[in-house]
């Protein structure tokens, strides 16, 4: 057994020893604990009276569950329960609340960061940390800190990129959250966009970028970009500096993400994006991917940089067929309840 496995086992056994005497996995307990979930024995759960967050250290350091009043907002289908990465083994889809680093088109392949085992630690009454291996292809290690509010659905997700190599590295934060399919994206636009319609559409197999796309399921209205259904091509990109967007789900919940933006910094995705939405047809993958993107971080050896995005699940009635989304109401609700 190597040293990383020993450290991982010590952490997990400490956590289990701390909690097993007082709770069982199926109990409804406010706070932080170790549970079984989706075929994994060692998930970490953060839970308050309304909201439950379940983290997966065994495969990709991701969020498997983000539930409000018992309803999970994340796409987590049957079929990959308990799957763990091994080189050469058939891969399973990394569903749920995924995080990554970019730029997408130039970063080396990094399966250990994306799918591998992470170490885990409960760091407070409603907080936990997941830590990746020191990844040789990218030269970085990732640390993810999650903190759930005591009395709301507010979840802070902070990812830290640490350069563990001997060379300067340039990467960016890239969130890749799978939300439930069938919703409506509402993205506030800001002035001086580089894109004539406020967004770009990536071509087939992501080999071209259309900077003046037209699609019946996408429109600009009252300073907002609305994506009302899957577009002709699923991958879209925006350069808004508003620092938030909302995804209205047909279960009458609204998934809100807030994140910092930096107009005077370099965004090193191909099209300089601050947000990307990937919204395929339901028969392809029944989800909508919500992707805040951070600016370029130029890291010298041993240097670190962090990016925090904050999530909310807020009650919001889904519009009936033919009914327009009330954009002012959404903006007011986000300003009031997601702050």
- Quick one: pLDDT at residue 11? 44
Q: Which whole-number Å values give the CA distances from 316 to 246, 247, 256, 277, in the listed order?
A: 11, 10, 11, 21
- Phi, psi (rounded to 5 degrees) for 148: -100, 140
- Quick one: pLDDT at residue 23? 36
Share of the chain above pLDDT 70, in %: 91
Q: Which whole-number Å values give the CA distances from 317 to 72, 250, 295, in the listed order?
A: 17, 8, 34
106: left (phi over 0), alpha (psi -120 to 50) or beta: alpha
Distance CA(277)–CA(44), nearest Å, equals: 28
Distance CA(29)–CA(50), nearest Å, equals: 11
Q: What is the bridge-based pairing of β-strands 140-148 and 62-68?
A: unpaired
- Phi, psi (rounded to 5 degrees) for 11: -60, -50
- Phi, psi (rounded to 5 degrees) for 38: 55, 35
Show the domain range for 317: 3-337
- 305 has pLDDT over 60: yes
Q: Are the C-beta atoms of 34 and 57 separated by less than 8 Å?
A: no
- What is the DSSP secondary structure assignment for residue 114, as one 8-state letter? H
**pLDDT band with cut points at 50, 70 and 90 for residue 3:** very low
Tokens of 168: 């300067």
Domain count of the chain?
Answer: 1
| pLDDT one-digit tens code per residue, 38-91 | 999 999 999 999 999 999 999 999 999 999 999 999 999 999 999 999 999 999
Q: Are the C-beta atoms of 338 and 312 separated by less than 8 Å?
A: yes
Q: Residue 325: which CATH number? A: 2.70.98.10
Has this prediction a pTM greater than 0.95?
no
| pLDDT one-digit tens code per residue, 104-131 | 999 999 999 999 999 999 999 999 999 9
200 beta partners: 237
Q: Which whole-number Å values give the CA distances from 146 to 72, 81, 177, 245, 251, in the listed order?
A: 17, 22, 15, 20, 25
304 beta partners: 162
Q: Which residue has the tokens 């770009």?
A: 200
């Amino acid at each position: 057994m190597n040293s990383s496995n020993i450290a991982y086992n010590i952490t997990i056994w400490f956590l289990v020893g701390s909690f097993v005497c007082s709770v069982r996995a199926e109990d409804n307990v406010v706070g932080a604990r170790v549970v079984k979930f989706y075929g994994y024995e060692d998930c970490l759960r953060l839970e308050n009276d309304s909201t439950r967050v379940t983290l997966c250290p065994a495969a990709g350091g991701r969020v498997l569950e983000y539930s409000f009043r018992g309803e999970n907002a994340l796409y987590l289908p049957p079929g990959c329960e308990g799957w763990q990465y091994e080189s050469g083994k058939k891969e399973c889809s990394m569903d749920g609340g995924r995080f990554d680093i970019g730029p997408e088109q130039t970063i080396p392949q990094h399966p250990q960061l994306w799918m591998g085992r992470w170490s885990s630690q409960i760091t407070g009454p409603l907080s936990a940390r997941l830590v990746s291996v020191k990844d040789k292809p990218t030269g970085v290690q990732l640390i993810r800190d999650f903190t759930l509010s005591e009395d709301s659905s507010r979840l802070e997700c902070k990812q830290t990129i640490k350069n563990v190599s001997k060379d300067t590295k340039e990467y960016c934060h890239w969130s890749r959250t799978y939300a439930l399919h069938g919703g409506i994206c509402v993205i506030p636009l800001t002035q001086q966009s580089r894109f004539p319609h406020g967004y770009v559409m990536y071509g087939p197999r992501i080999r071209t970028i259309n900077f003046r796309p037209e699609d019946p399921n996408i429109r600009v209205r009252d300073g907002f970009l609305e994506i009302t259904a899957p577009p002709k091509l699923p991958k879209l990109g925006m350069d808004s500096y508003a620092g938030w967007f909302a995804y209205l789900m047909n279960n009458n919940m609204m998934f809100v993400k807030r994140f910092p933006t930096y107009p005077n910094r370099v965004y090193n995705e191909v099209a300089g994006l601050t947000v990307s939405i990937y919204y395929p047809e339901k028969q392809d993958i029944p989800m909508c991917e919500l992707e805040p993107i951070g600016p370029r971080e130029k890291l010298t050896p041993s240097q670190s940089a962090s990016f925090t995005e904050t999530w909310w699940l807020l009650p919001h009635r889904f519009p009936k067929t033919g009914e327009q989304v009330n954009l002012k109401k959404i903006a007011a609700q986000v300003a009031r309840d997601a702050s």
